[in-house]
Amino acid sequence: MATAKAHFFTDSALTVMDECCTVLLWELIGNTGLKTTFAFGTKGTAGIAEADDWAEQYNSRKTALIDSSGWANNGYTTEESSDHLF
């Protein structure tokens, strides 16, 4: 699984996913596909600004990496599905 994730995503991108997603599952799809399902909880801190909670941290850090060409190692396409891994 690590090889498949590293094929598509940089180490920095995988770190963002690991640090910001409170639930994160991966599945290999055939020989060339990778499926992920992730969710964001809350840090649970009273009065925390939305920008400091997990979902927004994910979005802002992902955007910064994409803008600096630091998100993907190889091109990929995404498709939303209601068939989640959890």
Q: Where are the domains of the chain?
A: 2-67
13-17, 19-23, 51-55, 63-67, range with the lowest pLDDT: 51-55
* Residue 86: predicted pLDDT: 85
50: pLDDT confidence band, cut at 50, 70 and 90? Answer: confident
Residue 8: partners with Cβ closer than 8 Å, 6 or more residues away? 34, 72, 73, 74, 76
